[in-house]
A and B are shown apart, each in its own frame.
Chain A
Amino acid sequence: AQSVTQPDARVTVSEGASLQLRCKYSYSATPYLFWYVQYPRQGLQLLLKYYSGDPVVQGVNGFEAEFSKSNSSFHLRKASVHWSDSAVYFCAVSITMNNNAGAKLTFGGGTRLTVRP
């Protein structure tokens, strides 16, 4: 069965430090991969997505992610975090549902990032 694992439920870093949030997936083929962010009291917003090609994909607000087929991973990175990056980050894998019924996202459990000023 398809699954997405985010092994770190909580991460705390200091402002200005570098960041890596981990994501591993289990799927028979290379899926479409996404990172979404959920700021307090808001819905999820897309950070970046990967289909194919260059394994490093750039997103908004200085985030990037690197796809590794050999490791079945899609880790999120940022060189220097800001306090406003404090949020919950979700990794997700997308497959096409039957009957042309849309894209189904399978989400990881999320990582709550706290950035200390």
Chain B
Amino acid sequence: EAAVTQSPRSKVAVTGGKVTLSCHQTNNHDYMYWYRQDTGHGLRLIHYSYVADSTEKGDIPDGYKASRPSQENFSLILELASLSQTAVYFCASSRDWASAETLYFGSGTRLTVL
């Protein structure tokens, strides 16, 4: 079964600090994604990647960077965390680019910025 693991499970950060969220997948998938979920809202795409050492901007990339050092690992970086970035962050992977592909999600990281 597909496996996507995120760390940490939760984190409290201070405004202006740097935060790194990590994601590791054992699915041998080429495509990985970072989504943000706000209470009462659907998920929104922040960054994605379809090959190691390359990342692409999603719908809401401002304030976020991404890093894909290998096929298995995909990180989301908040250089200067802000209150508005308090949310739950989900990583996902998929096998292929086709529109019909299923995404496999991690359990999420709950980030609180104070």
Contacts and interface: CB of A to CB of B under 8 A. Distances in A.
Interface of A: 4, 9, 31-32, 34, 41-46, 49, 51, 90, 92, 94-97, 99-110
17 contacts: A43-B105, A44-B103, A44-B105, A49-B100, A51-B100, A94-B99, A96-B98, A97-B56, A102-B33, A102-B101, A103-B94, A107-B44, A109-B41, A109-B42, A110-B40, A110-B41, A110-B42
The secondary structure that dominates the A interface is strand
Contacts, number: 80
A45 B41 contact: no
Contacts of B103: 44, 46, 103, 105
Interface string B81-99: 0000000001010100111
Contacts of A96: 97-99
Contacts of A92: 42
Interface residues of B, number: 27
B102 A49 contact: yes
B102 to A, nearest CB: 5
Contacts of A43: 4, 90, 92, 105-108
B48 interface: yes
Contacts of B105: 43-45
A32 B106 CA distance: 22
B40 A109 contact: yes
B43 A90 contact: yes
B49 to A, nearest CB: 9
Given A96-B99, A101-B31, A105-B43, 14 more contacts: A43-B90, A44-B90, A46-B103, A90-B43, A94-B100, A97-B56, A100-B50, A102-B33, A102-B48, A103-B94, A103-B103, A106-B42, A109-B42, A110-B42
B45 interface: yes
